[in-house]
Structure 1
């Protein structure tokens, strides 16, 4: 084991390079070794303090030869802060702060090649600092470093290419899955809308009456909802219309609304008076399903004399627009299906003159801004503005006006009823 003390970084580098060359270390290892020792020693030498280099060749149990280089630093030196594992060539640190490098020697360096001592290497280095041989060594190490950098760059480009291909494949798969998901959602929505349309009543053709409907679900992903209607003609020629708003959204609320409309139709065709139907519907359904909860509005119109009767169960009031350009809400108090003490408090009677328009709707039309009073005022003004339009256009125009700025998305139903007088 030989040692020598250095006070300049140049002398240390040349000595380390000569030792590495004398032991036939590859150019890449020589460059990493010189850089590593320089990184550890530079802060100490820059502060004016010397470092000691120890070198020697060792043989392990298997007979393999190794080169050992140790850099001994002064106590409490800055170079001791260097992390050996993060150096260009890994090292280990002894308890006294000495940084040690162990390098396996190539087989050709183990026989027949005398290895100079540190003193010889130092003098040789000092004499050859500007020699062509030294420049050749530097060029060789630089070429090795550049070759390694090029190899890493090629590997990096290949990895980027593979990553780009992988990302492209993942993106294509994602697009395919998204398209398939969209197709499934569309088909699912179409099926549900077709099913719901099949459950709605057929168009009612009665002389002296025009009917039009607008319905929109709360979202395209749940194309069915709890807003439902039913209309039919009673044996005496009176037209009966039911509007139901069941609690919730989706298929469950649709089932509830269907249950209520079917119960109302059965009771109405059996001849029960209008004022009793809301309460009777609740009493009929409660034993079978106590979770049913819905508001409803019942309207009957005698086309011969225009007499209109209304019963209500917690539902928004009907709105009647007159030929003189005015409109009024037909208020009837009551409690809906599933509410405490269900039933309509009374039956309201009014007269529809020829060309009057009656609007029946659900709260999704007036509560889109969470203020029912404002919604009712806007609805009244909109109906007066559109009353003279063709009946089939009125519900859609009202929905367009009132739902232009929606804060609370909900199912929406609007039915326009015009008495033509024909």
Structure 2
């Protein structure tokens, strides 16, 4: 071990470079160690304060040879950190900064002791051309390193671009596949729901049409359902159900209710008792069932109309002259307290009168349900001259054009023409 004191940056650089040459450090490592020690000592040397360099070569714990350089600095010039140096050092508590550089394996046993190497390096006169040659060698090494890093960066960017392109292509494929699956799922559910709906009903003297739209394409089934059939006495029975919730669970509830109503109607139970009786039948099996319903009986020969209601929006009658009336019947639905229709409303449809049955998704998609009911009257009047088959869909499109929230929607139109 030997220590040498330096008072100028040039002398320190020359000595450090000589040591690096003696130990056959690469041009890049040589440049790093020269620059690091020069930058660390610059403040002190430029202010005229000397620094001390101590150098040793020794074997590390792993047996590999390494060069240790310790730079002693005045107290006021000790660096707070060395992370920004080309080769970071270790700041010691005694004010020294230490660098430990692994040495390359020598081609022959390294016999030169460090003190001799230091003295030789310090004593060897160097011309300006020699120093410039060494600096150019170190610069070329730095440039080669920079070029290598730039090349690696270009390759990395190219690989990243290819990876991103592949990921994007995979994402597009997955999105397409997901869309195909959603579409297939929707078609399957729609086909299932269509299969659960009643067959088209053809009755002399009546034109019937229906429109249904789910709250979302992702859940094409819902709790809005209808049923229609002809009773043994020739009258037409229609049930409109709106079960609580959305999706398959609410569809199951609506089907349960319509099947119970159909059974009771075909057994001859009076219209005024069917809502309450349906609740009595279903509640022991499933107390979670909750639904509103509207029951309609219509004689196609006379136009006689009867309605029972369980918490459902009222039917809208639109006369041939444009007069509109909501047929209000109070009642409570399935799963509600004291379920049942309070009475049966009876009236008569005239030729070309229109009866519109619907679920609350048609009128309560706006902030005020009363506003929705008023709008429904205006929309129904605007479309009443359309063919009956197109009427429910046209009314639903206009009503939902400015909907504030999505809901299942059902609209059913009946035009009375009187049988001949």
Smaller-chain TM-score bracket: over 0.9
Q: Which residue in the other structure is 1:17 paired with?
A: 17
Shift of 1:400: 1.0
Cα deviation, 1:96-118, whole Å, max 9, x if unaligned, reads 13111222333148547797665
Q: Which residue in the other structure is 1:223 paired with?
A: 220
Decide whether the 8 Å contact of 1:2 with 1:117 is kept in 2. no
Q: Unpaired segments of 5 or more residues in structure 2?
A: none
- Matches of 2:63 and 2:271, distance apart in 1: 109
**Matches of residues 40-119 of structure 1 in structure 2 within 5 Å?**
40-45=40-45, 49-58=49-58, 65-77=65-77, 79-83=78-82, 87-106=85-104, 107-108=106-107, 111=110, 118=118
**Matches of residues 283-362 of structure 1 in structure 2 within 5 Å?**
283-362=280-359
Q: Which residue in the other structure is 1:147 paired with?
A: 144
- Matches of 1:8 and 1:408, distance apart in 2: 81
Q: Which residue in the other structure is 1:31 paired with?
A: 31
Shift of 1:120: 5.9
Shift of 1:121: 4.2
Decide whether the 8 Å contact of 2:203 with 2:300 is kept in 1. no
- Matches of 1:408 and 1:327, distance apart in 2: 27
Cα deviation, 1:169-207, whole Å, max 9, x if unaligned, reads 333332222222222211111111111101101111111
- Matches of 1:9 and 1:216, distance apart in 2: 86
Shift of 1:18: 2.5
Tell me the secondary structure at the aligned position of residue 365 of structure 1: coil
- Matches of 1:306 and 1:135, distance apart in 2: 114
Report the TM-score, using the length of structure 1 for normalisation: 0.92
> CA 1:49–1:379 in structure 2 vs 1: closer, same or farther (change >3 Å)?
farther
Tell me the secondary structure at the aligned position of residue 81 of structure 1: coil
Cα deviation, 1:199-228, whole Å, max 9, x if unaligned, reads 101111111111111100111111100000
Cα deviation, 1:284-310, whole Å, max 9, x if unaligned, reads 111221111100001111122211111
Decide whether the 8 Å contact of 1:332 with 1:347 is kept in 2. yes
- Matches of 1:135 and 1:16, distance apart in 2: 15
> CA 1:400–1:61 in structure 2 vs 1: closer, same or farther (change >3 Å)?
closer
Report the TM-score, using the length of structure 2 for normalisation: 0.92
Decide whether the 8 Å contact of 2:275 with 2:310 is kept in 1. yes
Tell me the secondary structure at the aligned position of residue 75 of structure 2: coil
Decide whether the 8 Å contact of 1:286 with 1:292 is kept in 2. yes
> CA 1:280–1:61 in structure 2 vs 1: closer, same or farther (change >3 Å)?
closer
> CA 1:12–1:261 in structure 2 vs 1: closer, same or farther (change >3 Å)?
same
Say yes or no: does 1:234 pair with 2:209.
no
Q: Which residue in the other structure is 2:160 paired with?
A: 163
Shift of 1:47: 5.3
- Matches of 2:38 and 2:146, distance apart in 1: 20
- Matches of 2:19 and 2:206, distance apart in 1: 110
Decide whether the 8 Å contact of 2:309 with 2:330 is kept in 1. yes
**Superposed CA RMSD:** 2.3
- Matches of 1:98 and 1:139, distance apart in 2: 30
> CA 1:311–1:123 in structure 2 vs 1: closer, same or farther (change >3 Å)?
same
Specify which of 270, 274, 299 is matched with residue 271 of structure 2.
274
Cα deviation, 1:126-171, whole Å, max 9, x if unaligned, reads x63xx11111111111111111122222222222233333333333
Q: Which residue in the other structure is 2:258 paired with?
A: 261
> CA 1:172–1:61 in structure 2 vs 1: closer, same or farther (change >3 Å)?
closer
Shift of 1:48: 5.3
Give the stretch that moved more between structures: 8-17 or 390-399: 8-17
Shift of 1:312: 0.4
**Matches of residues 369-384 of structure 1 in structure 2 within 5 Å?**
369-384=366-381
